[in-house]
Structure 1
Amino acid sequence: MNPDALRDLALDDDDDLRDAVELLLHRANQRQLWLLFIDGRGRLGEPLMPMADYPSDPLEVVPIDDLGDVAQAQALAHRIGMLREITGNAAVVLVWERVGDARVGGEEDDVRLWARAMRRQASSLGVPLRAQFLLHAHGVRQLHADDWA
């Protein structure tokens, strides 16, 4: 698969989606979140958005003008849902980039905390979260329920 043909390929299963993420992003260079969209036909949608410097604590409560006092994860999930609607995409994929290995550690691991919080918030807000991945120093791996449980 090459990047040019990727836009025309339906990413029907998780392996295809993981391969697409790896083709696009390769390996981790820094701590950031990548936001990807999937269109109504299961193809990679627009835009592909990196977000560096996301907060360390997804549960930190912050004041947001139009939402009130909400957790960071709730604010992010709300904004992602708005972007998905505005762009006309069907689903969202989150890729947590960090330098290091593929292991998701203990309760203080920020990928674990964010993946858990975003799964809950996406479900609560009705944001169709297709999958979450960890982009690490050696490639990409999909995050599953036991990674954030």
Structure 2
Amino acid sequence: MTQTLALIEEAAKKSALLWVQGPTGPSRALWHVWHAGAALVVGGPGEQPVDDLGLADGAVAKVTVRSKDKGGRLVTWTARVAELPAGGEAWGEAVAELKGKRLNAVGFDSLEERWARECRVLRLEPTGASDPLPSTSLAAVPLPTPATTRRPMPAALPRLLRRGRRK
């Protein structure tokens, strides 16, 4: 069991993303910070969406850690979800760790106040159980999205661009 926990910790420390499957909703990639034996995640308005995953205090989630360099699955483990109450000592420690790793944060100076007011800080603690790597790919159909792929360039655009350089 200690080997499994060591593998989970090492893999999670080296990977910036976790794939989290909650009791409800799709499996979702979430950025995290590994701290004090658990993965810390922040979600809510202006952050990553976690509400549709059913990650409530005391829930169980399935977490998959990918390889940072190749992107392949390293380990899948079961986590116990704990929601840290805003303003508590554990919440303060978690937010300090998360804030240091939050890239491109809007309103960085008031980030802690916004997280306390609008967001949820979750602790995903390994239960010690890990799943064996599956023999199939587990590929799934992508979720519906309004995003589109790049469309071909209009045929007249190169001529319009050339004409603009001559002036």
TM normalised by structure 1 equals 0.26
Larger relative contact order (CA 8 Å, sep ≥ 6)? 1
Instruction: Point out the structure with the larger helix share.
Output: 1
Q: Which structure has the larger Rg?
A: 2
TM normalised by structure 2 equals 0.24
